[in-house]
Amino acid sequence: MFDEMELDDPVLEIPEGWESRAPEDWEWETLWDAVEYGDHIYTDSRVQEAIEADINPRVILDDGLFPGFNLQADRFSAQVIFIPEMLITARAMKAGLALIRPLLAANAEKPVGTFVIGTVLGDMHDIGQSIVTIMLENAGFNVINLGTDVHPDRFIQTAREENADLVGFSALLSTTVYYQKVTIEEFQNAGDREKVKILIGGAPTTPEWAEECGADGWGKDAVEAVRLALRLVEQPRAAWNSDGG
Amino acid sequence: MKELLPRERFARAVRHEKVDRVPLLYRMKSEAKEKIARVYGITKTGTGLKHNPELELRLGNDAIIYQIGINAQFSHRPIKIGETWFNHFGVGYGKSGLKGRTEDEHLEFMKTQEFWGPAKVVPENFPNHHPITSMEELKNYTWPDPADPELIDPIKSLIDEYQKDYYIIVDLSSTLIEAAYAHLVGTQNFFLMLFDQPELIAAVLDGLTEYYTQLGKNVIDLGIDMIRVGDDVGAQQSMMISPVQWRELAKPRFDYMFKEFRKTNKDIDIKLHSCGDYSPIIGDMIELGVDLSGLMQPTGGNKHQKELRQKFGDDIAFIGGFDVQRLLPRGQVEAVRNGVCEVMKNLAAGGGYIFSPSHYILADVPIQNIFTMLEAQRDFGTYGKYPLN
């Protein structure tokens, strides 16, 4: 085991038929590499070129940006790469998305969903939830990150204001995971529990704890959290009233 | 075997020599310490730089551990809500908990907390200002004094008072990578600068290496038994940085540091600590001549305790391994008892092991679980008796 353990190094999945969606002589490989190696400056300029070449923003995202990003996400999940490598890939992805997002919006493409995230009251740890935030944004969510030490009222208020689809609570300490439960109870008390799907995560948390505290799901790591969010956002929820209450 | 003095028991276990029973080292945060101390009628419950070992010795600790690293100054210090306190590294710290509430409101809230039950919110001190985020700041940065009497003097009196019977450990954590990301540079800055400004990160790590090497040599000179270097590079499921990157960034610097330590005292015992899963670098710890590795948080790759003991346990001693994330705070007494037995079977069999929870005991641990752990460790921690026969 350990050093003898053979790790499956995921490989880049080339989007099928990408040539048919790009101008003649176009290539994406340098962009795939740039995202994989976290070169945000090249990513920015190559995405700009793609926009200027009139490639559909959705195509730039799917064929140009996602292959390198997905590769690194899979590697992160498989522990082939670690936080620093994932962070610079996420930063490159973010640079590309910043150019594309306004164009997607102009094409009336909506975010996948709105996700309010934060670390619970009394807990200042934010490495994990920052990574989850970046991954969610890259997966197309509109993410509102409330930071650390977030009071339950603030989660509820923000979820209302933003008509959130999902809410996520992070906690690192065994003493603060209680506040995941408390915050869920406060959503219940406020009458808003059925309007959102609630995810929890953090070092001392488990699927059993997620069930015990009444969450809708638990992610082992950032990659799994995003996959779960994509599934949960499809599930039915009670509607937010138009007055935001 | 005749009953050993605590200091002999601890020292012998570190050297893989025969001991009468598994040595102990309990550590707790102030809230937990106060809670447990009440049961024993103990009133001196200082932690960090104000550490008073009375309670820990009452619980059976064989060693005294005294912190002087960057963590000692902030984590145990009373900081008012809304205030930022700066330590001698120029790092600023604030208090979490009830953001936006005043101190009075907070005190009112604290009254509602159950004293004996699980703590609902225990405000933690946390870094909120990082002094080195650019080359300019690095140029103007003044490293602290590694001969600071405030850090060093209390160790002299600890040695005078306790070393006759107890093994003396001085804790430098956090020492290198963690000191850089959590304190001096900031976590996200640190990870991005590894790529954007590797020379800045290298300089910060060099500065820390030099400071802690000198500080460590100064305290080793006083005649302590063990120097503890703590550097959190483990996350729950894996390492935070790759083992390859750790070998580039940390290993050579620790190599230098430990060689310098051994120039001051060739027999000094060295402990290297990381939270979380650090199993991929245990082999490297052995190469560095580390004597004791912990805290073996039973998560990620570290959860294969038996295999780790088999593979590395003859070349390095282990400490910790008893789950504090779920079992100790939440387990029923039976489960806690079985958990202690399991850890003894996995790690203590064959020697070279010190029993310890895999982290600080926090305020959420019920008193009955503490008593259960103490009892189980007495029942299952004697060599020659089940399960160590």
* DSSP states along B167-213: EEEEE--S-SHHIIIIIII-HHHHHHHHHH-HHHHHHHHHHHHHHHH
Of the candidates B188, B279, B325, which has its C-beta nearest A204's C-beta? B325
A89 and A174 co-located in one domain: no
Using an 8 Å CB-CB cutoff, list chain A residues near B122: 122, 173, 175-176
- Chain A 83-142, residues with CB within 8 Å of chain B CB atoms: 83-85, 87-88, 91, 121-124, 126-127, 130
Distance CA B185, CA B276 (A): 21
A120 and A86 co-located in one domain: no
Number of folded domains that form chain A: 2
| Contact state of B242 with A82 under an 8 Å Cβ cutoff | yes
Of A106, A134, A150, the position where a domain reaches its end is A106
State residue B264's pLDDT score.
98
The tens digit of pLDDT for each residue in B78-127 reads 787 778 999 999 999 987 655 556 677 666 656 655 544 444 556 678 88
| Contact state of A3 with B120 under an 8 Å Cβ cutoff | no
A138 and A42 co-located in one domain: no
Distance CA A45, CA A71 (A): 21
Of A84, A106, A128, the position where a domain reaches its end is A106
A224 and A118 co-located in one domain: yes
What pTM does this model have? Answer: 0.91
Distance CA B169, CA A100 (A): 56
Query: Which residues are paired to B170 by β-bridges?
Result: B66, B227
State residue A245's pLDDT score.
43
A190 and A132 co-located in one domain: yes
Of A68, A90, A106, the position where a domain reaches its end is A106
Distance CA B146, CA B129 (A): 22
State residue A244's pLDDT score.
45
Instruction: Evaluate whether residue A87 is within a structural domain.
Output: yes
- Chain B 22-61, residues with CB within 8 Å of chain A CB atoms: none
Is the confidence at residue B362, as pLDDT, over 60? yes
Q: How would residue B202 be classed by pLDDT, with cut points 50, 70 and 90?
A: very high
A98 and A120 co-located in one domain: no
A119 and A95 co-located in one domain: no
Instruction: Evaluate whether residue A141 is within a structural domain.
Output: yes
Helices (H), B221-296: 243-249, 251-264, 282-287
The secondary structure element, H or E, covering residue A114 is strand A114-119
The CATH number of the domain where A96 resides is what? 1.10.1240.10
A93 and A127 co-located in one domain: no
Is the confidence at residue B175, as pLDDT, over 80? yes
Q: Check the CA dihedral B31-B35-B38-B40 and report its sign.
A: negative
State residue B119's pLDDT score.
47
| Contact state of A150 with B326 under an 8 Å Cβ cutoff | no
The CATH number of the domain where A153 resides is what? 3.40.50.280
A119 and A191 co-located in one domain: yes
The tens digit of pLDDT for each residue in B289-305 reads 999 999 999 988 888 99
The tens digit of pLDDT for each residue in A103-158 reads 998 988 889 999 999 999 888 888 889 889 988 998 899 999 998 889 899 999 99
**Whole-number CA gyration radius for chain B:** 20
| Contact state of B119 with A123 under an 8 Å Cβ cutoff | no
Instruction: Evaluate whether residue A24 is within a structural domain.
Output: yes
What number of CA atoms fall less than 13 Å from residue B352's CA on the CB side?
20
Is the confidence at residue A7, as pLDDT, over 90? no
Model ipTM value: 0.88
A88 and A139 co-located in one domain: no
Instruction: Evaluate whether residue A180 is within a structural domain.
Output: yes
User: Which residues, including other chains, have CB under 8 Å from residue B70's CB and lie 6 or more apart?
Assistant: B87, B89, B91, B173, B174, B179, B183
A39 and A143 co-located in one domain: no
Instruction: Evaluate whether residue A197 is within a structural domain.
Output: yes
State residue A2's pLDDT score.
46
A51, A99 Cβ separation under 8 angstroms:
yes
Print the domain residue range for A13: 7-106
State residue B48's pLDDT score.
84
A135 and A225 co-located in one domain: yes
Average pLDDT across chain A, whole number: 91
Q: Domains for chain B: give ranges and CATH numbers.
A: 6-380 (3.20.20.210)
